[in-house]
């Protein structure tokens, strides 16, 4: 997902991190209907999003996570997707995008904080649900008796009905990150940047077509309806008169195989994005996640 975020104020604390490594993609499920928008407005100081809701309905199966930590490193994998990867804070929202039909696999790890020492009152919790149905619950307390040594691991499986159909990334073959593969991905990432820089609306719609199709399936929306709404969103995004893309730093690119080697995350290392706009006059920046799969002979953004 592309994401917008404001320049942090001096001294502001980062209180959460998302499974997409830098920005929390939280959904305000407690306040009512979840809201979505291709460019989510996020502020680094508060980690909140103000989004546009274009969903008319949700599917029967809405899978959510609520992950909290006082500083401990918490990683949650769902079918190989890092739905949470954080060191302190809260990550909460819909995780339908990582759910598949049939048997799903969850893996949770709670590890010590980067300092190596937890506070005496620290806690870390992971809650995975399907609506009101509990799928996985794990709580760690530094003050527990008997003590709970870290790292703490828990795995679980659950069954999903036929809500989602085969995912684009499920049907792709595992890849090997050799130099030829990296070069092909690098070239495609440059192409994505050029489309955004040129404000090529048709090209941007096609660039996100696979991801938007997955998004529609995940949330019970007709793909055609989602495509039309997404096009309007991209048009609005590109209409910004200050829109300019930052250059790509090829020497910093990193490639990470996830999801049984079927998806490649491209970034500059943890907590960084490759595709970002240059700061607007008010300091706002839009960043784009790069989760790519090799679909029909071409590297496509799938999440």
Buried/exposed code over 201-236 (b: 16+ C-beta within 10 A; e: otherwise) = eebbbebbebbbbbbbbbbbbeeeebbebbbebbee
Tell me the C-alpha distance between 282 and 240, whole Å: 12
Position 217 scores a pLDDT of 86
Q: What is the pLDDT of residues 245-260, one digit of tens each?
A: 999 999 999 999 999 9
User: Residue 242 — left, alpha, or beta (φ > 0 → left; ψ -120 to 50 → alpha)?
Assistant: alpha
Q: What is the pTM of this model?
A: 0.79
In this prediction, residue 48 has a pLDDT band, given cuts at 50, 70 and 90, of very low
In this prediction, residue 271 has a pLDDT band, given cuts at 50, 70 and 90, of confident
Taking the CB of residue 186, how many other CB atoms lie within 10 A of it? Answer: 17
CB of 135 within 8 A of CB of 128?
A: yes
Tell me the C-alpha distance between 228 and 230, whole Å: 5
> For the chain, what are the domain ranges?
2-160, 179-301
Q: Give the pLDDT mean for 9-18.
A: 23
- Inform me whether the pLDDT recorded for 59 exceeds 60: no
Position 195 scores a pLDDT of 98
Pick the CATH number of 179-301 from 3.30.470.10, 3.10.450.50, 3.40.50.1970, 3.50.50.60: 3.10.450.50
Q: Where are the alpha helices (DSSP H) in the chain?
A: 179-197, 201-207, 209-218, 223-238
Tell me the C-alpha distance between 56 and 51, whole Å: 15
In this prediction, residue 69 has a pLDDT band, given cuts at 50, 70 and 90, of very high
CB of 259 within 8 A of CB of 81?
A: yes
Position 208 scores a pLDDT of 96
Contacts of 64 (CB under 8 A, 6+ apart): 27, 29, 92, 93, 94, 95, 128, 129, 130
- Inform me whether the pLDDT recorded for 25 exceeds 80: no
Q: Give the pLDDT mean for 46-50.
A: 27
């Amino acid at each position: 997902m592309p994401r917008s975020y404001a320049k942090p104020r001096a001294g502001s604390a980062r209180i959460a991190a998302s499974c997409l490594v830098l920005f929390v993609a939280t959904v305000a499920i407690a306040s009512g209907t979840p809201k979505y928008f291709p460019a989510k407005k996020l502020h680094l100081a508060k980690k909140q999003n103000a989004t546009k809701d274009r969903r008319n309905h949700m599917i029967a199966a809405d899978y959510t996570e609520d992950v909290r930590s006082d500083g401990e490193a918490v990683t949650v994998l769902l079918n190989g997707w890092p739905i949470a990867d954080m060191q302190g804070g809260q990550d909460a929202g819909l995780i339908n995008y990582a759910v598949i039909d049939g048997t799903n696999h969850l893996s949770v790890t709670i590890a010590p904080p980067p300092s190596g020492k937890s506070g005496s009152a620290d806690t870390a919790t992971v809650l995975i649900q399907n609506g009101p149905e509990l799928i996985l619950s794990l709580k760690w307390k530094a003050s527990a008796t008997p003590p709970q040594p870290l790292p703490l691991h828990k795995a679980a499986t659950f069954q999903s009905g036929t809500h989602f159909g085969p995912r684009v990334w499920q049907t792709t073959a595992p890849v090997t990150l050799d130099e030829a593969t990296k070069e092909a991905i690098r070239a495609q990432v440059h192409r994505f940047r050029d489309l955004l820089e040129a404000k090529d609306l048709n090209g941007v719609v096609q660039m996100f077509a696979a991801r938007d199709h997955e998004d529609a399936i995940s949330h019970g929306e007709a793909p055609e309806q989602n495509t039309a709404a997404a096009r309007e969103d991209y048009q609005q995004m590109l209409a910004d008169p200050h829109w300019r893309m930052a250059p790509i730093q090829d020497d910093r690119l990193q490639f990470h195989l996830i999801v049984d080697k079927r998806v490649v995350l491209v970034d500059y290392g943890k907590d960084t994005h490759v595709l970002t706009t240059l700061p607007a006059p008010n300091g706002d920046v839009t960043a784009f996640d790069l989760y790519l799969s090799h679909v029909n002979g071409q590297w496509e953004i799938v999440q």
